[in-house]
């Protein structure tokens, strides 16, 4: 698909939200539209699982501020589908029309980024991988940002096959829709560059504030729970600039601040106790347990050892982020 054709066909962006999730939806749409190439027609479709009229109006005003090139539509869905949903909001700092213009490789019907934590099918479910005769070390993809060939997915009866997978293997997989996508479409998923779906923890580990990515908050919703670091500061700064400031006084944010204080206070004890446990398991001949506890001890020792450098880098980067201006 060339650039002229892109101007003829709108870039279609599909998102889902209920009222509790609305700050994430709003910031995702605001950041995506802000970085879209001039003149690109955009069709934003929101699966509405109970967004309030006030919030719908707020999002509508945002879309209208970008002119007639942006179309916004709400598709009502049963709010029960969100009850077990995992929150994973995104901020967009790339032109999504580049992704929409990307051709899928031969034989592929969906494109996504390799998952940064669950690296293989076996890491999700070794039982399912073996039963479906799929390689346990097969590539595993994150479903936070995907490019989808909807016509081909319909031809492949993907919806029906996914629902059958979820029912058949209930309790055996870890990530619901993501599990279904990876197991049902194994071998049909094209790999996207990492910057199309960068995990927030990876952004925190950067030495600088490079924003040329789609930033995916994989471990928390930053308006509900606080994960101290540059990614949290970036969401709060963007939300404030976009006119939807994060309420710092919510019970959830206060609670997670206390959790982080306890996490840091108990880190030395955890490092020592896991190390001792690994030695005891090794003496008793339980090598697997010993290895697991040794891995945990190593994590906490590294956490403590790197704390001074991490705090310095975080302070510098957060100060830079707080001076950023986002013209929405």
Is 198 within the bounds of a domain? no
Report the share of the chain in percent with pLDDT over 90.
Answer: 86
pLDDT of residue 6 exceeding 50, the answer is no
pLDDT of residue 9: 84
Residue 7 lies in a domain: yes
Instruction: Answer with the residue of higher pLDDT: 306 or 7.
Output: 306
Mean of the pLDDT values across residues 129-151? 95
- 264 with 307, same domain: the answer is yes
Same domain, 257 and 293: yes
Both 247 and 305 in one domain: the answer is yes
Q: What is the mean pLDDT of the chain?
A: 92
Same domain, 250 and 315: yes
Q: What percent of the chain has pLDDT over 70?
A: 95
SS (H, E, C) the chain: CCHHHHHHCCEEEEEEECCCCHHHHHHHHHHHHHCCCCCCCEEEEEEECCCCHHHHHHHHHHHHCCCCCEEEEEEECCHHHHCCCCCCCEEECCCHHHHHCCCCCCCCCEEEEECCCCCEHHHHHHHHHHHCCCCCCCECEEEEEEEECHHHHHHCCHHHHHHHHHHHCCCCCCCCHHHHHHHHCCCCEEECCHHHCEEHHHHHHCCCCCCCCEEECCCCCCCCCCCCCHHHHHHHHHHHHCCCCCCCCCHHHHHHHHHHHHHHHHHHHHHHHHHHHHHHHHHCCCHHHHHHHHHHHHHHHHHHHHHHHHHHHHHHHHHHHCCCCCCC
Write down which residue in 52, 87, 122 finishes a domain.
87
Is the domain of 7 the same as that of 69? yes
Residues 248 and 171 in one domain: no
Q: How many domains does the chain have?
A: 3
Q: Is residue 28 part of a domain?
A: yes
Same domain, 175 and 254: no
In this predicted structure, what is the pLDDT of residue 81? 67
- 184 in a structural domain: yes
Residue 104 lies in a domain: no
When pLDDT is cut at 50, 70 and 90, the band that residue 142 belongs to is very high
> In the predicted model, is pLDDT for residue 188 greater than 80?
yes
Please say if the pLDDT value at position 306 is more than 50: yes
What is the pTM for the complete model shown?
0.87
* Domain assignment of residue 24, yes or no: yes
Inform me whether the pLDDT recorded for 158 exceeds 60.
yes
Q: Are residues 315 and 228 in the same domain?
A: yes
Q: What is the pLDDT of residues 207-263, one digit of tens each?
A: 999 999 999 998 889 999 999 999 999 999 999 999 999 988 888 899 999 999 999
131-140, 188-197, 214-223 — which is least confidently predicted? 214-223
- In this predicted structure, the answer to whether residue 52 has a pLDDT above a threshold of 60 is yes
Last residue of a domain, one of 191, 214, 244: 191
- Residue 286 sits in which domain range? 222-321
134 compared with 220, residue with greater pLDDT: 134
Rounded mean pLDDT of 138-146?
Answer: 94
Can you give the pLDDT at residue 185? 97
Is residue 165 domain-shared with residue 237, that is, in the same domain?
A: no
Does residue 257 fall inside a structural domain? Answer: yes
* CATH number of the domain that residue 59 is part of: 3.30.370
Tell whether 316 and 240 lie within a shared domain.
yes
Does some domain include residue 32?
Answer: yes
Looking at residue 87, its pLDDT comes to 64
Average pLDDT over residues 108-115: 96
């Amino acid at each position: 698909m060339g650039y002229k054709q892109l101007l003829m066909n709108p870039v279609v962006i599909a998102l889902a939200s209920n009222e509790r999730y609305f700050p994430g939806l709003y910031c995702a749409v605001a950041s995506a539209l802000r970085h879209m190439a001039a003149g690109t027609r955009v069709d934003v479709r929101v699966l509405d699982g109970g967004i309030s009229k006030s919030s719908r109006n707020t999002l509508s005003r945002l879309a209208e501020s970008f002119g007639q090139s942006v179309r916004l539509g709400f598709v009502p869905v049963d709010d029960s589908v969100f009850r077990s949903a995992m929150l994973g909001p995104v901020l967009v700092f790339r032109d999504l029309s580049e992704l929409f213009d990307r051709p899928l490789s031969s034989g592929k019907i969906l494109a996504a980024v390799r998952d940064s934590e669950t690296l293989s099918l076996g890491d999700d479910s070794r039982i399912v991988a073996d039963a479906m005769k799929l390689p346990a070390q097969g590539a595993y993809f994150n479903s936070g940002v995907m490019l989808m060939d909807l016509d081909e997915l319909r031809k492949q009866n993907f919806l029906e096959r996914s629902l059958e997978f979820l029912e058949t293997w209930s309790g055996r997989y870890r990530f619901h829709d993501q599990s279904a996508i990876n197991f049902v479409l194994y071998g049909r998923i094209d790999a996207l560059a990492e910057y199309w779906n960068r995990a927030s923890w990876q952004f925190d580990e950067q030495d600088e504030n490079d924003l040329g990515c789609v930033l995916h908050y994989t471990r928390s919703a930053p308006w509900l729970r606080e994960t101290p670091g540059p990614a949290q500061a970036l969401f709060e700064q963007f939300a404030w600039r976009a006119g939807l400031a994060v309420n710092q006084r919510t019970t959830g944010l206060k609670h997670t601040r206390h959790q982080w204080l306890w996490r840091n206070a108990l880190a030395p004890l955890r490092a020592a106790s896991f190390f001792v446990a690994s030695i005891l398991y090794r003496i008793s001949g339980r090598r697997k347990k010993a290895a697991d506890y040794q891995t945990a001890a190593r994590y906490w020792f590294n956490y403590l050892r790197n704390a001074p450098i991490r705090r310095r880098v975080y302070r510098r980067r957060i100060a830079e982020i707080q001076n950023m201006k986002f013209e929405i």
